Amino acid sequence: MSNSAHAVISTRDLAKDLPLGSTIVHALRGVDMDIYAGEMVGIVGPSGSGKSTLLGLIGGLDSPTRGTIQIDGVDITRMNEDQLTEIRNEKIGFIFQFFNLIPTLTALENIVLPIQFARKPQFKPEKRARELLDLLGLKDRMHHRPSELSGGQQQRVAIARALANNPPLLLADEPTGNLDQESGERVLEALSDIRGSAGTTVVIVTHDPALAARTDRVLTLVDGRIVNGAA
């Protein structure tokens, strides 16, 4: 990817130390990377290499020990919690391994909720939710609660919810980790389609080599450092 392209994510000397009893674990040790608009990037590495820690920092869910993180050219490491909440609501969609859907709400209602909470909603909540469910092949499941959906269907609802406010950046932490191969393939196809149709930048943390192989570029983390493909 050309350096003249727009970097949606840019980190410099990013480090995170975590206390573990009387010792300190260096989860990240000075990560420099750029991820560009419209890319689908996989982050891989052994357990404990810092993948989820890196994703959480990029998403503003945690603060680094040192270094900078720019999202769309804005350094989020200098923001207070209110500012970070606004960035997360407007710029970032999150997809987690365990779906995190609200069990008492239907698929439609789970997607409507973040639009209603947006400070400046750009969509009519129910209309937007219906469009996303249709896009993700769930038009006939919109009035079902999570317990009435398969794992793959729940994850696609979670993707729709993450896209509710049309964020430029989608962060996915092991999005196929709890799914069988067929369901995982459908989720990956959905992510690819979203990137293609909306130009969304997608960053996926995964242990799945087949999933990583479908991304544009793979970053490998080992002991808190990127060992390939940083820019």
Q: Which amino acid does the sequence have at 185?
A: E
* The pLDDT of residue 119: 64
pTM: 0.87
CA-to-CA dists, residue 178 to 72, 114, 228, angstroms: 31, 24, 27
Most confidently predicted of 56-65, 184-193, 209-218: 56-65
Residue corresponding to tokens 């969609």: 93
Enclosing H/E stretch for 92: strand 92-95
Q: How confident is the model at residue 5 (pLDDT cuts 50, 70, 90)?
A: low
Banded model confidence at residue 230, pLDDT cuts 50, 70, 90: low
The domains found in the chain, sorted by start residue, are 40-61+80-228 (3.40.50.300)
What is d(CA 118, CA 168) in angstroms, rounded to the nearest whole number? Answer: 15
Structure confidence at residue 3 as a pLDDT band (50, 70, 90): very low
What is the reported pLDDT for 178? 79
- What are the tens digits of pLDDT across the range 23-63? 998 999 999 999 999 999 999 988 888 899 999 999 998 99
In which band, very low, low, confident or very high, does the pLDDT at 165 lie, cut at 50, 70 and 90?
Answer: confident
Torsion sign (Cα): 85, 89, 95, 100: positive
Task: Output the CA angle 114-14-208, nearest 5 degrees.
Answer: 65
Average pLDDT over residues 68-77: 92
What residue spans of 118-226 are helical by DSSP H? 125-135, 151-162, 181-198, 209-213
Whether residue 164 has pLDDT greater than 70: yes
Q: Residue holding tokens 């990956």?
A: 188
CA distance 46 to 220: 9
Residue 148: pLDDT band by 50, 70, 90 thresholds?
very high
Is 129 exposed, middle or buried (CB count within 10 Å of its CB: 0-12, 13-18, 19+)? buried
Nearest Cα residue to 36 out of 210, 184, 177, 201: 201
- The proportion of the chain whose per-residue pLDDT surpasses 70, expressed as a percent, equals 95
Summarize the confidence of residues 135-154 as an average pLDDT. Answer: 92
Within 8 A by CB and 6+ apart from 163, the residues are 93, 132, 170, 194, 198, 200
